[in-house]
Structure 1
C-alpha cells in the first residue's frame, strides 16, 4: 500500500468502496486490513475452499491519477515465489477487485522497528530474495517505483513477499518515465531534478535506501523540507556506521550512485561478493499452475464441487484469472501447506487463520459450496505424500469437517432441541418379561418406537409439511 511510513507518498486520495455483490457471491468479507492512498485491502475468505485471501479494492474513475489497469496487467504477468500472487480479478461497473495471496508474517518496517536493525547475515538472506524478485520484474519490463519496508512482507521462516504494485509501470528498454511518485525519502535524485527517468534505475536506488535501513535501522537521507532532503540526496551525503563490513558498504555505495547512467543494474549487484556469500537463493516458482501438469486430486475435488474439467484447463492455459483458476490455485496452496512447509505443531481450529497472517478473526463464517464435495476433498488431501503423521491426519479431518455442506433450512428449524428419549441397553441386566418377550409384543413395541421416531423427526425438520388431519362429519350429541 501507499503507506505513510515512507513519508510524503504521492498518489490519489482514499476512495470509497462500492458494489460488492459480485464479490460476496464468492468471498466472505471480514474487515479492512490495509488502507493507503491508492486502494483498500480487505481480509476475506473463499467460500468454496475456506482459504483466507486479501482483496484489493480498486475504484474505477475516469480521471484516475494512476491507471488501475496498469496494476492489473502487471499482476497478471508475474509468477514468482517472492512476489504476492494474483488468483482472480472480479470487475464491476464501479470497482476492480484483485483477489491476492494473503502474505504471512509482518511488514519489514515493523520487524526492524522492533529489533533495531538486522545483522548482516539475516539482512543478506532477506535482501537476496528481494533482489531476485526485482530482477525477475525488470526482465519482464515491470518496475515497482515504491520499494520500501512497508511493501516487504517477511514470514517467520524469513521468506519474503513483495506487495503493492499500485505505482508500478510496464516499460520497454530505453523508455523514460515522467510521472513522479513514491515516498520522497526513498526517492532517487532524478525525482528531485524533475527529469525523465529510467524506472529500473529508480528501483535500484530504492533498494539502496532499503538495504541501508535494514542494516542500520535509520534512513540515509533525512530533511525537514523538500529542499533540504533534495540537497542531501543530490549530493549523496549519508553517514556510514562503523559496524558495517567493507563489502556491505560497497554494495550500498553502488546502489546509491547519484548519476543514474553510472548506477549499476540489479544483475550487476547480484554478482557482488557480499551477495554471493551464504546459501544460494533459488528463483524458481514452487507452485506453478501449469495446465500440462494438473494435479489429479485437485481436479477431482473441483469436479465434485461442480466445475467442468475443460473449464479448469482453459482457465489455466489462458490465465483467465477467473473462479476456476482461483479455486485451483487456492487448493494448490492448501495442499502445499499441508505437505509440510507450514506444518502446524497442534491442531488448528477450522475457520481460524493460523499465525503468522496479518489477521486473527475469532472464526470465519461457514463456507458455502456448489455441491457436497467432502469425499473428493478428503481423497484429495489424503493423496498428499507428507500427511501420514497423526497430527497431519487430525488437520486433514478438520479441513474436511469445514467442507461439509449444510442444507438451507428456515430459521425456526435452527433452534436447539432437547433430547427427550434415550435408551441405553445394559447386557448385564436381565430382560423384563412382558410384551417384549413375544413376537406380537415386539412388533407392537417396534411400531410404538417407530411412531415416536417419526414424530420427533417431524418436530426436528419443521420445514417439512406436516400430515394433515382428516376431518370427518361431526356427530350430533
Structure 2
C-alpha cells in the first residue's frame, strides 16, 4: 500500500528506513523539529487532540508508513512514584490486549523531558461528545456500540486486565458505528478473585462497593460502569446525578434510578440486571453479550496472539499469510532481516523498529478483517439469555 517511488536515489541506494534514520541525525530541519518538540523518533507531531491532568494527546504521523497516530505526552517533571506506577500498569495492560475494539499501543518514546505513548488514532471523537451533542443513540446504533464496548471489556477480563475508568469520555469512534475503548491510565492486571483497594475512575460511573467496602473485585466494578454507560447511550442522561460528590455517593449507595419510558423493555431489563447493588449478583461481560437485548449482534473477536516484536519473522518458516505480508512490507520499507535481528530487546515498545512492526501488523490485520459495524448473527440457536429482573 505504500509507494516507495522516488525515495532512493538522491542519497545513493538508501532504503526508506536508512534515509529516515540518517535524516534524524544529520538533517538540519529534522534536528530543529526534534528540538522544538515537533518530531520524536519516526513521528512528526501535529496539533493537540486532547489533554489531562498530567498529559497532552497530540496527533502524529509515522514518517515511514504515513499512518496517523495519537501520541500521549507525559511531563516527567510532574511524575511521582504513584504516577510512574500507573504508567507502567497502563503500558503493561495495553500490551496484553489484542482486540479490534481496544486502542492499540504501538511504541513508547523516551526523551529527557517527556515520555510519549504512541497509540492507535480513532478520528471520530468521544462517545461522550456524540451523545452530549445529539442525545441518546438510535436503538440499533446503541446495540452495536454497546456490544463492541462489552466485547472489549470481556477480552480485558479474560486477559487479567481491569480498566477501572470506563466512561463515555474513554470510548472513541474510529468510524461509522465502530468504537474503541482507550485511556488505560487507571488500569491494572489482576489474578482471579484478587481484591483491589484503590479508588479509581469517575464518580458518576463508580460502583457502590467503591464507597461502601474496604476492597473490591475489578471486573465487577467494570461491569457496573458498563451499566452506567448503557444507561447513558440509551437515554442521553446518567442514572445517578447530583450537584456534589457527597450527594452523588449517597445516590449511588441508595441504588435508585429511573429508566426513561422511551428505552425498550429488553434494554431496560439489561440495565437493571447490571446495576445491581451487590457485586456478586451482576452478570459478567460474557453474560451481557448473551442477553436478550443483544440477541442477533455478533461481538468482534480478538486478533491472533502474535508476538509484540518482529524478531521471529526472518527465522520462522511457517508463517501465517498475513505475517508473510507484514514481513514483505517491512522489507520494502528497509526493515530487513538484519535490522530485525539487531532490534535489541525485541518485545520492548521503546524501539522504532518494534513500533513500525506493530503499525504494519495492525494495518494488515485491519485490511484482512475490516473493522466496521457488527452485523447480526443469523444462527441464534446456541445463544442463552440472561434472566429477567
TM tier, smaller = 0.7 to 0.9
Runs of 4+ in 1 over 4 A off after TM superposition: 18-23, 286-291, 294-298, 313-318, 332-343
Counterparts of 2:371 and 2:250, CA distance in 1 = 47
Q: Deviations over 1:304-328 (max 9, x none)?
A: 4432325437869953332223223
Structure 2 partner of 1:265: 284
Q: Which residues of structure 2 form unaligned runs of 5+?
A: 1-33, 314-318, 373-389
> Which ranges of structure 1 fall in alignment gaps of 5 or more residues?
1-17, 344-477
Residues 1:282 and 2:300 aligned together: yes
1:435 counterpart residue number:
none
Distance 1:263 1:298 in 2: 42
Question: What's 1:42 paired with?
Answer: 58
Change (3 A) 1:115 1:240: same
1:175 aligned residue: 194
Secondary structure at the counterpart of residue 153 of structure 2 = helix
2: distance between equivalents of 1:268 and 1:339? 29
Q: 1:225 aligns with which of 234, 244, 253?
A: 244
- Residue 238 in 1 paired to residue 257 in 2? yes
On the 8 A contact 1:117/1:217 being kept in 2, the answer is yes
Matched, 1:303 2:331: yes
- The answer to whether the 8 A contact 1:82-1:162 is kept is yes
CA shift at 1:115, angstroms? 2.2
Give, in angstroms, the shift of residue 80 of structure 1.
0.8
Query: Structure 1 residues 283 and 317, CA, compared in 2 at 3 Å: closer, same or farther?
Result: farther
SS at match of 1:228: helix
TM superposition shift of 1:220: 0.5
Contact 1:19/1:92, CA 8 A, preserved across alignment: no
1:280–1:182: structure 2 CA closer, same or farther, 3 Å change rule? same
SS in 2 for 1:137: helix
Instruction: Indicate the residue corresponding to 1:331 in structure 2.
Output: 360
Q: CA RMSD of the aligned region, Å?
A: 3.0
Which protein shows a greater Rg?
A: 1
Query: Residues 160 and 286 (structure 1 numbering): CA distance in 2 closer, same or farther, change over 3 Å?
Result: farther
Shift of 1:184: 0.7
Contact in 2 for aligned 1:144/1:165 (Cα 8 Å): yes
Task: Tell me what 1:250 maps to.
Answer: 269
Matched-pair contact (CA < 8 Å) for 1:71–1:168 = yes
C-alpha contact 2:205 2:225 (8 A) present in aligned 1: yes
- Equivalent residue runs for 1:348-387 within 5 Å: none
CA shift at 1:105, angstroms? 1.4
1:127 aligned residue:
146
2:65 aligned with 1:31, yes or no?
no
d(CA) in 2 for partners of 1:169 and 1:342? 27
Q: How far, CA to CA, are the matches of 1:208 and 1:316 in structure 2?
A: 44
Out of 74, 92, 110, the residue aligned to residue 91 of structure 1 is 110
Does the 8 Å CA contact 2:38/2:45 hold for their aligned counterparts? no
Going from structure 1 to structure 2, the CA distance change for 1:48 and 1:80 (only over 3 Å counts) comes to same
TM-score scaled to structure 1, two decimals?
0.62
Give the secondary structure class of the aligned counterpart of 1:261: helix
The number of residues matched between the two structures is 325
- In the alignment, does 2:348 pair up with 1:320? yes
- State the match for 1:406 in structure 2: none
Alignment match, 2:177: 158
Verify the 8 A CA contact 1:86 1:101 in the aligned structure 2. yes
Q: CA deviation at 1:155?
A: 3.4
Q: Taking structure 1 as reference, are residues 38 and 175 closer, same or farther at Cα in structure 2, changes over 3 Å only?
A: farther
Q: Are the equivalent residues in 2 in contact too, given 1:22–1:92 (CA < 8 A)?
A: no
* CA distance in structure 2 between the partners assigned to 1:51 and 1:296 by the alignment: 20
